[in-house]
Amino acid sequence: MSDDWSTFGVDLHLDLTAGRASGGGVRAALERSLRDAIRGGRLSCGTQLPATRVLAAELGVSRGTVSAAYDQLTAEGYLIARHGSGTRVADVARPERRATRGAPRPPRHDLRPGTPDVGSFPVAAWLRASRRALGEAPPAVFAYGDSRGRPELRAALADYLGRARGVDAAPGRIVVTAGYVQALTLLAHVLPGGAFALEDPGLPFHREALRFAGREVVPLPVDALGADPAALPPSGVAAAVVTPAHQYPTGVTLHPDRRRALVSWARAAATVVVEDDYDGEFRYDRQPVGALQGTAPDDVVYVGTASKTLAPGVRLAWMVLPGRLVEPVMRAKRLTDFQTEALGQLTLAEFITSHAYDRHVRASRSRYRRRRDLLLSALEGYPLEGVAAGQHLLLGLPTGAPPESHLLRQAAARSLAFGTLGEHWHADASGPGAEGASAPRRTGLVLGYGTPREGGFPEAVTELTRLLRDEVGVVGATGDRSVTDLR
Over residues 142-160, the mean pLDDT reads: 97
Strand partners, 394: 385, 446
Q: For residue 390, count CB atoms less than 10 angstroms from its CB and return exposed for 0-12, middle for 13-18, buried for 19 or more.
A: buried
User: Cα–Cα distance between 478 and 414 in angstroms, integer?
Assistant: 29
Domain 16-97: which CATH number of 1.10.10.10, 3.40.50.300, 3.40.50.720, 1.20.1260.10: 1.10.10.10
Strand partners, 319: 175, 303
Over residues 422-426, the mean pLDDT reads: 96
SS (H, E, C) 285-324: CCCCCCCHHHHCCCCEEEEEECCCCCCHHHCCEEEECCHH
For 152, 176, 307, the CA distances from 146, given in Å and listed in that order, are: 11, 10, 23
372: nearest Cα among 164, 109, 111, 108: 111
What is the DSSP-derived secondary structure letter of residue 451? Answer: S
Beta strands 444-448 and 416-420, pairing class: antiparallel
Over residues 459-470, the mean pLDDT reads: 97
117: nearest Cα among 349, 347, 283, 313: 313
- Give the pLDDT band of residue 477 (cuts 50, 70, 90): very low
Question: What three-state secondary structure class fits 146?
Answer: coil
User: Cα–Cα distance between 252 and 245 in angstroms, integer?
Assistant: 8
User: Cα–Cα distance between 298 and 322 in angstroms, integer?
Assistant: 5
- Domain ranges within the chain, ordered by starting residue: 16-97, 121-358, 361-471
SS percent in the chain: helix, strand, coil, step 5: 45, 15, 40
- Give the pLDDT band of residue 9 (cuts 50, 70, 90): low
Count of alpha carbons within 13 angstroms of residue 210, beta-carbon side: 25
Handedness of CA 377, 380, 383, 388 (dihedral sign): positive
User: Cα–Cα distance between 42 and 45 in angstroms, integer?
Assistant: 10
Over residues 75-101, the mean pLDDT reads: 76
| Cα radius of gyration rounded to whole Å, the chain | 28
Residue pLDDT, tens place only, 134-148? 999 999 999 999 999
Question: What pTM does this model have?
Answer: 0.84
Q: Please give the residue that has the higher pLDDT: either 45 or 348.
A: 348
Q: From start to end of 308-402, where are the E strands?
A: 317-320, 384-385, 392-396
Residue 94 has pLDDT above 80, yes or no: no
Q: Please give the residue that has the higher pLDDT: either 40 or 265.
A: 265
User: Cα–Cα distance between 238 and 291 in angstroms, integer?
Assistant: 21
What CATH number has the domain spanning 121-358? 3.40.640.10
User: Cα–Cα distance between 487 and 485 in angstroms, integer?
Assistant: 7
User: Cα–Cα distance between 279 and 403 in angstroms, integer?
Assistant: 29
Domain 361-471: which CATH number of 1.10.287.110, 3.90.1150.10, 3.40.50.620, 1.20.1430.10: 3.90.1150.10
Q: In what order do the strands lie in the sheet with 444-448?
A: 109-111, 416-420, 444-448, 392-396, 384-385
Residue pLDDT, tens place only, 162-216? 999 999 999 999 999 999 999 999 999 999 989 999 999 999 999 999 999 999 9
- Give the pLDDT band of residue 14 (cuts 50, 70, 90): confident
Q: What angle do CA 17, 22, 27 make, to 5 degrees?
A: 65
